[in-house]
Structure 1
Amino acid sequence: MESFEEAVTALHAAVLTAWNTRDAAAFAALFADGGQLVGFDGSQVPAAEIEAHLTPVFSGHATAAYVWRVREVRPLADGVALLRAIAGMLPPGADVPHPALNAVQSVVAVHTPAGWRIALLQNTPAQYHERPDLAEAHTAALVDD
């Protein structure tokens, strides 16, 4: 039987894989009713609008692909978990993440009859103002195996 940590980690991987494959419907399907996406640019998108929000993003231009490392998965309450991760993005044709696109991600996941779903995905830019050592460590952690 899969642990909640494994299930929530798989949920996070699935949503970022849906982004990487530019599949707006698959991305949106991973959100709980009433869920919310807070994008890198601060966009706040209700779950019911995510597919419509992402479709023109994916069709309008080649998007960068996510790479990520999960840092923590922990329970918040029965059937509710928090996942924290660092992420970066590979611009089209790039082999390493572009440091200006680094982010810290938080996912609040809820267990529903359909399985684990995202109640909140927040993608916060990780700019580390005037702390280049932290920015370098973030990027390095994404490319180190």
Structure 2
Amino acid sequence: MNTSTNDGIHDLYHKLINAWNNRDAHGMAELFSEDGVQIGFDGSKVIGREELLSHLKPIFKNHPTPPFISKVKNIRMLGSAAMLHAIVGMVPPGKTDIAPELNAHQTLVAVKKDDAWEIELFQNTPAQYHGRPDLVEQMTEELKDSFM
């Protein structure tokens, strides 16, 4: 993959994370393709910009959503699309440290349309590692290292 493609996918992901962290439903929705899919931490699935916008607005209005601390692990091409994998943690409001129970794996699949990358799929999957607390701790420490 060329550096330009890598940078474009990385930039798209960081715009998404910044929109979440700024509680900007419009900013998030506009990054998706017309039929883009988001699967949230709780398993909710929304399809398309309009549905995503109507899903996010009340979340940002009614809940103190913690910001993401993210680390991109890899980006790879899938033909004319690209896939990014990142790990994330969150620092809840009023706290100063990452809450391990909120750690997640994030997968973003993007396609390039008219010289701009758009999100086709964004999935945020809890990283609980049931019965393997050492992996939760390892992931939390890796995120703390990138946060500090």
TM-score (norm 2): 0.93
Once the two structures are TM-superposed, the CA of residue 94 in structure 1 deviates from its matched residue by 2.1
Gaps of 5+ in 2: none
Q: Deviations over 1:34-66 (max 9, x none)?
A: 110000000000123111100000000211110
For the residues of structure 1 that align with 2:115 and 2:33, how far apart are their CA atoms?
Answer: 9
Structure-2 residue corresponding to 1:58: 60
Once the two structures are TM-superposed, the CA of residue 97 in structure 1 deviates from its matched residue by 1.3
Residues 56/114 of structure 1: CA separation in 2 closer, same or farther (3 Å cut): farther
Once the two structures are TM-superposed, the CA of residue 89 in structure 1 deviates from its matched residue by 1.0
Deviant stretches of 4+, over 3 Å:
none
Once the two structures are TM-superposed, the CA of residue 125 in structure 1 deviates from its matched residue by 0.3
**Equivalent residue pairs, number:** 144
Structure-1 residue corresponding to 2:71: 69
- Identity across the alignment (%): 44
The amino acid across from 1:124 in the alignment is T
Superposition CA RMSD, Å: 1.3
Structure-1 residue corresponding to 2:117: 116
Gaps of 5+ in 1: none
The amino acid across from 1:57 in the alignment is I
Which secondary structure does the structure 1 equivalent of 2:53 belong to?
helix
Once the two structures are TM-superposed, the CA of residue 114 in structure 1 deviates from its matched residue by 5.4
Q: Deviations over 1:87-136 (max 9, x none)?
A: 11110122221000000010001101150110000000000111111100
